[in-house]
Amino acid sequence: MKRRDFFKVLGGGIVVILIPDDSDAQESGGGRRRGFNEPMPPALSAWLHIGENGLVTVYTGKVEVGQNARTSLSQAVAEELHTPVASIRMVMGDTELTPYDMGTFGSLTTPRMWPQIRKAAATAREMLVDLAAEKWKVDRSAVSIADGTVTAGSHTAGFAELTKGQKLTQTIPTSAAVTPATEWKVAGTSVPKINAREIVTGAHRYTFDMKRPGMLYGKVLRPPSFGAALVSLDSSAAEAMAGVKVVHEGDFVGVTAPDPFTAEKAVASLKADWKQLVAETSSRDVFDYFRKTAEKAPTPSPNLTSYTAAFIAHTPLEPRAAVAEWEGGKLTVWTGTQRPFGVRSELADHFKLDEDQVHVIMPDTGSGYGGKHSGEAALEAARLSKASGKPVKRAWTREEEMTWAYFRPGGVIDVGAKVAPDGTITEWEFHNYNSGPSGLNTVYAVADKKEQYHQTKSPLRQGSYRGLAATANHFVRESYMDELAHAAKMDPLDFRLKNTKDDRLRAVIVAAADKFGWKDRKKTAGHGFGIAAGFEKGGYVACCAEVAVTNGQVKVVRATEAFECGAVVNPEHLKNQIDGAVAMGIGGALFEAIEFANNKISNPRLRNYRLPRFTDMPTIESVLVDRKDLPSAGAGETPIVGIAPAIGNAIFDATGQRLRSLPLAPKGVSPSSESSPAPAP
């Protein structure tokens, strides 16, 4: 939307345009907005419109994937505009209607977008006060707004009465003043999920559920293995099917059909020869492969302790999907992605279009967890739609989602340390191969540190994940802290506190331990207790876990997690995120692992890739450390980092086995499990 079009598209009223500070502009990648042909602030971040009918609409490039950003951002508006949440509409992730946004990842919605939307709403509130003061000829200090009603003495008006006939725009810097957290009335409370009713009735249309007039169903022929090249194709049987069209462009082969059943049969009838590549490694030997292919020869100290983490699959329950249609050379695509503007660029690049010729719309989506940054289904649907001249839907199967998307990277992490007789860590060395640099640096106070991330080759396509590498890095760091504590004959809680200089870290560790009853824990046969802590993406977390090991099977009985992410925006939704992070973390901790060999995924189905279920859940207690004096940080990711090491440490406590590979116990633990005493620190 161009600036001069605001009122044409939105109707009259008032519009607040938010200009990010320079520091934000860099982060939001304002340079990529090809197609805007009118001078605009370099990186718009949100628009707020109050129509002549009084309706409040906020436009943001952020998207909803279940993390409840739609709700939390509405709370931000309600708080500052003094209007009920129900009167606010959020338009999210629509590349024509919303300002550019780099994407919804890195737990950035709350620390960055949330305060900006509050500032936009605060500015709109002041504009309404100005309009009322002018209309009623009263001093603006006499005007107040509550519950969507503006009053001054005997005068009273809804927003519509003030915005009627107006065409006012105001551009504001992000430095506009907002209400401090100690005075919040709507922010900081447990506003329920905004569109819950649409979800429980099945009325919400996810991309997977969409239909367009005349729409065809697309299906793509997959190679037998990664990197295989198409040698020959016989598509005569498919071409003979009624309503089927085969699209063959290089190695891309797809079909369109009037219904999904026919599309499936058509793809199954394709006869293709492929030239397959020889695999460089498999899930069995990938950890050596990481070391061998490290970009720069690292110079680690000898005698480090080695840990590993497997590749795992995000497994969003709604697989990738897209509906594409072309009209007069312009492409519109609905797709579930965490980066609608990124997908717009992918499509514009592929079809050599200006970005304003591509419109990407992101309906609220069936989860992402960092796994939906890319636009594969969007591109497939757009190619098939272009070739068939009709709208086309691509809905990936579970097997496609677990094969042709990307994975959380596997990795090898080598760690070592020296500890003084009083328990102070004096030296710390940490090398991460492949899994990533997030959360690489220890949160503990150590004078002499060497912490390196080593890029390597990856045999699988890999990308973002919930918390990304912070999960693996925390698993290793906190497991090794446990090893050091035992070697130093100190309680793991005392050992952590001894090496903590950060008060916020100390606060969550103490809070978790107190709630869990760490000091009073009593060992019984087969049970064990573990503790872990960390800091990532602005949030501090500590987790205590109790496990029961029965006949080699590990069950997490109890998990207590303390989390501090500044001022809490929505306590119930924060607890929901903690529950979810613990559940997802249990999967990666105990049993989730992608297996591969010969450039193929060996377990791309839920029957052989185990996900956490009801019976895997422990009793979860969460402690929200609400710091109203601190800015709010994101909460969708960091709560996942503490659970795996807490479980591993609890298994050690229960069995004496130190497990150093994620997943820890895909087939349970046994006396022969990989285990060795820690090298003397």
Contact criterion met (CB below 8 Å) for 541 and 478: no
Query: Distances in Å between the alpha carbon of 323 and those of 14, 331, 375, 670?
Result: 34, 11, 12, 49
Tokens linked to 114: 């949330």
Say whether residue 241 binds other proteins (CB under 8 A): no
Query: What string marks each residue from 180 to 199 as x (binds other proteins by CB under 8 A) or -?
Result: ----------x-xx--xx-x
Say whether residue 613 binds other proteins (CB under 8 A): yes
Partnered with residue 432 across adjacent β-strands are 413, 453
Q: Which of left, alpha, beta for 638 (phi over 0: left; psi -120 to 50: alpha)?
A: alpha
Say whether residue 614 binds other proteins (CB under 8 A): yes
Instruction: Give the binding range for other proteins (CB under 8 A) out of 45-53, 126-134, 361-369, 444-452.
Output: 361-369
Among residues 241 and 507, whose Cβ is nearest to other proteins? 241
Q: Shortest approach of other proteins to residue 559 CB, angstroms?
A: 11
Torsion from C-alpha of 109, 115, 117, 121, nearest 10 degrees: 160
Among residues 106 and 366, whose Cβ is nearest to other proteins? 366
Among residues 205 and 292, whose Cβ is nearest to other proteins? 205
> Given candidates 607, 671, 676, 680, which one binds other proteins under the rule CB under 8 A?
607
Among residues 50 and 321, whose Cβ is nearest to other proteins? 321
Q: Shortest approach of other proteins to residue 102 CB, angstroms?
A: 21
- Give the SS3 label for residue 45: coil
Q: Shortest approach of other proteins to residue 222 CB, angstroms?
A: 15
Query: What string marks each residue from 246 to 265 as x (binds other proteins by CB under 8 A) or -?
Result: -------------xxx----
Contact criterion met (CB below 8 Å) for 307 and 476: yes
List of residues 6+ apart from 556 with CB closer than 8 A: 545, 546, 547, 586, 590, 616, 617, 618, 647, 650
Query: What string marks each residue from 497 to 526 as x (binds other proteins by CB under 8 A) or -?
Result: ------------------------------
Tokens linked to 608: 């052989």
Tokens linked to 159: 């927003």
Q: Shortest approach of other proteins to residue 161 CB, angstroms?
A: 31
Say whether residue 67 binds other proteins (CB under 8 A): yes
Say whether residue 579 binds other proteins (CB under 8 A): yes
Among residues 120 and 468, whose Cβ is nearest to other proteins? 468
Q: Shortest approach of other proteins to residue 516 CB, angstroms?
A: 17
Q: Which of 84, 87, 83, 58 is nearest to 73 (CA)?
A: 58
Cis ω for the linkage preceding 663 (within 30 of 0): yes
Say whether residue 581 binds other proteins (CB under 8 A): yes
Q: Shortest approach of other proteins to residue 432 CB, angstroms?
A: 26
Q: Which of 437, 428, 474 is nearest to 300 (CA)?
A: 428
Say whether residue 365 binds other proteins (CB under 8 A): yes
Say whether residue 602 binds other proteins (CB under 8 A): no
> Given candidates 166, 397, 441, 452, which one binds other proteins under the rule CB under 8 A?
397
> Given candidates 316, 340, 439, 467, which one binds other proteins under the rule CB under 8 A?
316
Strands 229-234, 271-275: parallel, antiparallel or unpaired by DSSP? antiparallel
> Given candidates 86, 317, 330, 598, which one binds other proteins under the rule CB under 8 A?
317
- CA torsion sign for 35, 335, 466, 48 is positive
Say whether residue 395 binds other proteins (CB under 8 A): yes
Of 198-227, which residues contact other proteins (CB under 8 A)? 199-206, 208-209, 211, 217
Instruction: Give the binding range for other proteins (CB under 8 A) out of 48-56, 365-373, 444-452, 454-462.
Output: 365-373
Contact criterion met (CB below 8 Å) for 159 and 57: no
Instruction: Give the binding range for other proteins (CB under 8 A) out of 326-334, 405-413, 470-478, 572-580.
Output: 572-580
Among residues 480 and 563, whose Cβ is nearest to other proteins? 563
CB neighbour burial string for 97-107, b if at least 16 within 10 angstroms, e if fewer: bbbbbbbbbbb
Instruction: Give the binding range for other proteins (CB under 8 A) out of 240-248, 292-300, 492-500, 615-623.
Output: 615-623
Say whether residue 680 binds other proteins (CB under 8 A): no
Tokens linked to 552: 């080699």
Total chain residues near other proteins (CB under 8 A): 57
Among residues 382 and 559, whose Cβ is nearest to other proteins? 559
Give the C-alpha separation, 82 to 88, whole Å: 11
Say whether residue 240 binds other proteins (CB under 8 A): no
Say whether residue 555 binds other proteins (CB under 8 A): no
Give the C-alpha separation, 370 to 466, whole Å: 5
Give the C-alpha separation, 158 to 135, whole Å: 13
Say whether residue 572 binds other proteins (CB under 8 A): yes
The burial class, CB within 10 Å (0-12 / 13-18 / 19+), for 249 is exposed
Q: What is the largest CA-CA distance in the chain?
A: 84
> Given candidates 61, 66, 111, 467, which one binds other proteins under the rule CB under 8 A?
66
Say whether residue 573 binds other proteins (CB under 8 A): yes
Residues in the chain: 681
Say whether residue 583 binds other proteins (CB under 8 A): yes
> Given candidates 269, 315, 435, 560, which one binds other proteins under the rule CB under 8 A?
315
Contact criterion met (CB below 8 Å) for 563 and 534: no
Residue 529: HSE in the Cβ half-sphere, 13 Å Cα cutoff: 16
Say whether residue 233 binds other proteins (CB under 8 A): no
Strands 56-60, 46-51: parallel, antiparallel or unpaired by DSSP? antiparallel
Question: Which residues of the chain form contacts with other proteins (CB under 8 A)?
Answer: 65-68, 190, 192-193, 196-197, 199-206, 208-209, 211, 217, 259-261, 315-319, 364-367, 369, 395, 397-398, 572-573, 576-577, 579-584, 605-607, 611-615, 617, 620
